[in-house]
Chains A and B, each alone.
Chain A
Amino acid sequence: MILVNYDKILKFQFNGKHYEGYEGDTLASALLRENVKVVGRSFKYHRPRGIFGSGSEEPNALVKLEGSNTHEPNRRATSIKLYDGLKANSQNYIGNVKFDILALNDYIHPFISAGFYYKTFMWPKSFWEKVYEPIIRRAAGLGTLSTEPDPDRYDKGYLHCELLIVGSGPAGLKMALDASRNGKKVILVDEDFIMGGQLLSNEIDINGSSSLQWVEQTLSELRNSSNVRIMTRTSVYGVYDHGIYGALETVTDEIERPGARQILWRIYANKSVLASGATERPIAFPNNDRPGVMLASAVQTYNKRFDVKCGDNISLFTNNSGANLSKISNLIDTRDGSHIVNVHGRNLIRSITLNSGKKINSDCLAVSGGWNPNLQLTCHKRGRPKWNEKLSCFVPDNSNLPNNMYVIGSANGSFSTQSVFNDVSDLSEQLGYRITEKIKTEDNPLNLKPFWFVKSKKRSWVDFQNDVTVKDITLAHQEGFSSVEHVKRYTTLGMATDQGKTSNVIGLAVLADATNKTIPETGTTIFRPPYTPISIGAFAGAHKGKHFKPIRLTPSHEFASENGATFVDTGYWKRAQWFSQDKEVTWRDSVDREVLMTRNSVGICDVSTLGKIDIQGKDAGKFLNKIYINTFSTLKVGKCRYGLMLREDGIAMDDGTSARLSETHYIMTTTTAKAGSVYSHLEFCRQVLFPNMDVHIISTTDQWAQFSIAGPNARNLLSKIIDPSFNISNETFPYMACAEITICSGVRARIFRLSFSGELAYEISVPSRYGDALIRKLISAGKEFNVTMYGTEALGVMRIEKGHAAGNELDGRNTPVNLGLSGLMAKKKDYIGKTLSSREKLSGNETMVGFLSVNPSDKLTNGSHFVNIGDKILPENDQGHMSSVAYSPILERYIGIGFLKNGKDRYDETLKAIDFLQNNHVEVKVVSPHFIDPNGDRLRA
């Protein structure tokens, strides 16, 4: 039965010492073979701890797994597959693991009983944070997290199957066989690196074969079935809605190895079968946490599967017939009235005292307090298990399992191997599979008489890792914490990294005893995902660092990169913020130049990021009338109009222009930030509110490259690239005109005479694939006009100079009244937001105005609040805030836009702008927000 390969030696280090193990070992089995007994320290009392279990239930043997630059804390030695060169260290000690200075805590334990910290450290007040808490914090935690970036790769994958089988013991294997033979698409997973579950450590006869032979035969057939996927080292950690299961596959434990270390799978399964077995539970007795005390099943597994003797003189302490260890020196069976009253030895047990007074020598004490079905996954959708009195354990409650989940085998409380196979036969029949093979095997019912803990004045451990003892639970009850959830929270029972796999039910039994209730009356705590702890890195997968979110590039991105652009993130877009030229030192040098060159001659900005929505249909105009506060059905073909749209609650949602290309065809532009949400809003209006309108919409943001060409020479520049058959003179193509044209000898384009900057300006769009060519063409054609590219900063400066609201003003709290746009609100038609915008107090009294510093050399800062001169800086005196600020190279001073109480009526008033954060308090004058060309002469030129 031995499943280690003695021919394949693996060298490893633990706590700096060199050891050897074999292929097939876990770190735990190799350490035990090498006689390493103290592996870690407990959380609170820092007691020495050894290996206790053999799988994911392990509470004690937590180690730090080392990589070259980083490490992984809190790994269970029982689930690390040994590899050559492995390095691991103990954790949670000062000094060394066998002599930990913090073990002092163990001697002062009466003073630090459960919840002691809630009752003290309150005086003097400042001492909690300055003195006590830092001490508690320093003592807390188990392993240390490296501050180095996690170097490992994590992949994600999606799988679909008809039947997901969790667990590969006798139940899972046989179920997989039946399903496979019936042509079902099956995924079989197990968290171990070898399939077989308990059959790997129990020698039983199955249909005349040994258990291992049967496992190998079955696996061989499954491996040859194309409809079965077998996944070892894969832990199903969670059950989610509609048949979605989360699973984590460990590819390797090695850190910084090429390829993925772990794969996070999302498995979509029509049905699932939980065949996850059961976990042995211990019995609580004084000093039961000492190294050398182990679960009986673990002793058995190390012996049979790994060929490791856990001691020379093994005793068995049990309350049931299930533990079938072969070579034991002493049997202490509670069913015979005997039990343990103390265990002696610190770093390894030496002897045991029985209730008879007899003291026996022993270096390994195997304990079996019965079995708990691994039913965690049945509770992930908040179902609760039910208590089985005969088996003295919780079993799944079939009435509240997740949809299409079935539980079989010992996970279902079927503890004899024969009953496990019977479960499979029953389920196969239920699922309509034709059963191919009856199995005959061991059928010994579990004989168990509950015995949970030894009553004693000494400390008996329930939760090993968190150092929760029987006394802590009874104390909690004494203090009124008798609900299970209270006990858990007050004592930290079951909150450790083992998630209470070995402690929860004993804790309940102790509480039941204290409250004089039965266990089912006492309750059960709910199990939540994950079944075992999962690396945060695995959940994140590849979406981290620079790949955290996608990157969208504008059509002129390459050109901008070549021309000194600094990029800014706008949503997922990278937009050119400014273009540095030689000799420009600061960003302001570049931005000021871009503004001046544009205002003096011509500048070009990539505005492709603005949302572009194509709206077509007989009712397109009618539709837009509902969307915008102003009317669009009357817009003439070949014209654009500025529009403001509201949310239904009357608050401004977005603004932009819409152009009418034909009777039935409009093109809407939105702001960059709102492109997505406006589009979904339009679809909402079209499909949900007005499904009878004949209108269709599609986002074309990515399909069109669009450039703004602004400045007095804009027309001269454009004229050079427009095909001769089109005329864009002021007379034929006035302000707010639009047209479909061709440029550069036949390239399809759209042209709109729009201005965000306040200059004579056009926006021209071409299919995206021509974007790069067009920008290059425009720049070369513009040389004679000294054309400049300008970025989002210059764009922002010019729009503030012009007094246009943008994202800072359209912040989801302002109405058309606040924005000074109430004149646009149509009286006669209905539109989204019309009714609720009429609520009397919605707009308050803040309106958008402009600000200049009284002293022209004073800098204005965005985010300042205003108070009246002479008023104290108090909340009740807050007059509003500054929302946008720019340095205007035209006016040669800072200008700002903001919202001010009764702002419109306060032009020329002087206020104080308060900015504590940047320590910039300045006197400002209230002015119109339109700083340049308020009459719009330039843009109509």
Chain B
Amino acid sequence: MIINHPLLGPRDSSEFTYRGDAVLLNRPDPNSESLLNDYYEYQYIRNNTHGFMKELWFHEQGDRSWLVVTRNTLTHEIIKVELASEYKRENK
């Protein structure tokens, strides 16, 4: 696969390591009422999407950016690649 890094351009996926669903961006509020359940869902429960999903890739053999990649799990097609930090700030 090729991931089109927003700063570095197209890069082979073997430069990256994979973390999983980008729901991991949304670490629950430590002051939540339903703290334990929130963290249980955050840590363990996944949509396991058929089709396009947002997911986290780490450019470990590169600039060490965490990226949010929008990729189709049926075809592997990638339609969007964003820096995780910017994505998070924009989607707060």
Q: Per the CB under 8 Å rule, do A and B touch in the complex?
A: yes
Interface residues, chain A, with chain B CB atoms under 8 Å away: 240-244, 268, 381, 403, 648-649, 676, 680, 683-684, 686-689, 691-692, 830, 834-836, 838-839
Selected from A649, A684, A688, A830, the residue in CB contact (under 8 A) with B30 is: A830
B43 at the A interface (CB under 8 A): yes
Question: Nearest chain-B residue to A699 (Cβ)?
Answer: B64
Which of A686, A830, A836 has the most C-beta atoms of chain B within 10 angstroms of its own C-beta? A836
Give the 5 A-B residue pairs with the shortest CB-CB distance, closest first. Answer: A691-B85, A830-B30, A242-B2, A835-B39, A687-B66
Establish whether residues B35 and A683, one from each chain, have CB atoms under 8 Å apart when the complex forms: no
Establish whether residues A835 and B30, one from each chain, have CB atoms under 8 Å apart when the complex forms: yes
Judged by DSSP, the binding face of B is: mixed
Establish whether residues B85 and A688, one from each chain, have CB atoms under 8 Å apart when the complex forms: yes
Query: Which bucket holds chain B's interface residue count?
Result: 20 to 34
Residues of A within 8 A of B28 (CB): 835
Which of B1, B38, B64 has the most C-beta atoms of chain A within 10 angstroms of its own C-beta? B64
Establish whether residues A241 and B1, one from each chain, have CB atoms under 8 Å apart when the complex forms: yes
Question: Nearest chain-A residue to B19 (Cβ)?
Answer: A684
Question: Nearest chain-B residue to A268 (Cβ)?
Answer: B2
**1/0 contact string of B50-74 vs chain A (CB within 8 Å):** 0000001010100011100000000
Establish whether residues A688 and B25, one from each chain, have CB atoms under 8 Å apart when the complex forms: yes
Known interface pairs A268-B2, A687-B88, A835-B30; 8 further A-B residue pairs with C-beta atoms within 8 A, sorted by A's residue number:
A403-B77, A648-B27, A648-B43, A676-B60, A683-B66, A687-B83, A688-B24, A830-B30
A836 to B39, CA, bound (A): 7
A689 to B56, CA, bound (A): 12
Establish whether residues A680 and B58, one from each chain, have CB atoms under 8 Å apart when the complex forms: yes
Establish whether residues A688 and B89, one from each chain, have CB atoms under 8 Å apart when the complex forms: no
Residues of A within 8 A of B86 (CB): 691
Question: Nearest chain-B residue to A680 (Cβ)?
Answer: B58
Interface residues, chain B, with chain A CB atoms under 8 Å away: 1-2, 17, 19, 24-25, 27-28, 30, 35-36, 38-40, 42-43, 56, 58, 60, 64-66, 75-78, 83-86, 88-89
Selected from A683, A689, A839, the residue in CB contact (under 8 A) with B36 is: A839
Residues of A within 8 A of B85 (CB): 686-688, 691
A683 to B24, CA, bound (A): 14
A683 to B1, CA, bound (A): 23
A403 to B75, CA, bound (A): 10
Establish whether residues A242 and B78, one from each chain, have CB atoms under 8 Å apart when the complex forms: yes
What are 10 A-B interface contacts by the 8 Å CB criterion?
A240-B1, A244-B1, A648-B43, A676-B60, A687-B66, A687-B85, A691-B84, A691-B85, A691-B88, A834-B30
Residues of A within 8 A of B2 (CB): 241-244, 268
Which of B35, B38, B43 has the most C-beta atoms of chain A within 10 angstroms of its own C-beta? B43
- Within the complex, the shortest CB–CB distance from B24 to chain A, in Å, comes to 7
Establish whether residues A687 and B60, one from each chain, have CB atoms under 8 Å apart when the complex forms: no
Which of A680, A684, A691 has the most C-beta atoms of chain B within 10 angstroms of its own C-beta? A691
Question: Nearest chain-A residue to B30 (Cβ)?
Answer: A830
Residues of B within 8 A of A830 (CB): 30
A740 to B43, CA, bound (A): 40
Residues of B within 8 A of A648 (CB): 27, 39, 42-43
Residues of A within 8 A of B19 (CB): 684
Residues of A within 8 A of B75 (CB): 381
A692 to B35, CA, bound (A): 23
Residues of B within 8 A of A684 (CB): 19, 56, 58, 66
Using known A-B contacts A242-B1, A683-B64, A834-B30, determine if residue A688 contacts B56 with beta carbons closer than 8 Å. Answer: yes
Residues of B within 8 A of A689 (CB): 25, 27
Establish whether residues B27 and A649, one from each chain, have CB atoms under 8 Å apart when the complex forms: no
- Within the complex, the shortest CB–CB distance from A381 to chain B, in Å, comes to 8
Question: Nearest chain-A residue to B60 (Cβ)?
Answer: A680
Establish whether residues A680 and B30, one from each chain, have CB atoms under 8 Å apart when the complex forms: no
Which of A241, A830, A835 has the most C-beta atoms of chain B within 10 angstroms of its own C-beta? A835
Establish whether residues A835 and B36, one from each chain, have CB atoms under 8 Å apart when the complex forms: yes
Residues of B within 8 A of A683 (CB): 58, 64, 66
A830 to B29, CA, bound (A): 10
- Within the complex, the shortest CB–CB distance from B22 to chain A, in Å, comes to 9
Question: Nearest chain-A residue to B28 (Cβ)?
Answer: A835
A421 to B6, CA, bound (A): 42
A381 to B72, CA, bound (A): 13
A835 to B38, CA, bound (A): 10
A410 to B64, CA, bound (A): 47
A680 to B40, CA, bound (A): 22
Residues of A within 8 A of B65 (CB): 687
A405 to B59, CA, bound (A): 29
A363 to B7, CA, bound (A): 68
Question: Nearest chain-A residue to B59 (Cβ)?
Answer: A683
Question: Nearest chain-B residue to A684 (Cβ)?
Answer: B66
Residues of A within 8 A of B89 (CB): 691-692
- Within the complex, the shortest CB–CB distance from A246 to chain B, in Å, comes to 13
- Within the complex, the shortest CB–CB distance from A898 to chain B, in Å, comes to 29
Residues of B within 8 A of A834 (CB): 30
- Within the complex, the shortest CB–CB distance from B82 to chain A, in Å, comes to 11
Residues of B within 8 A of A686 (CB): 85
A268 to B11, CA, bound (A): 11
- Within the complex, the shortest CB–CB distance from A201 to chain B, in Å, comes to 39
- Within the complex, the shortest CB–CB distance from A682 to chain B, in Å, comes to 10
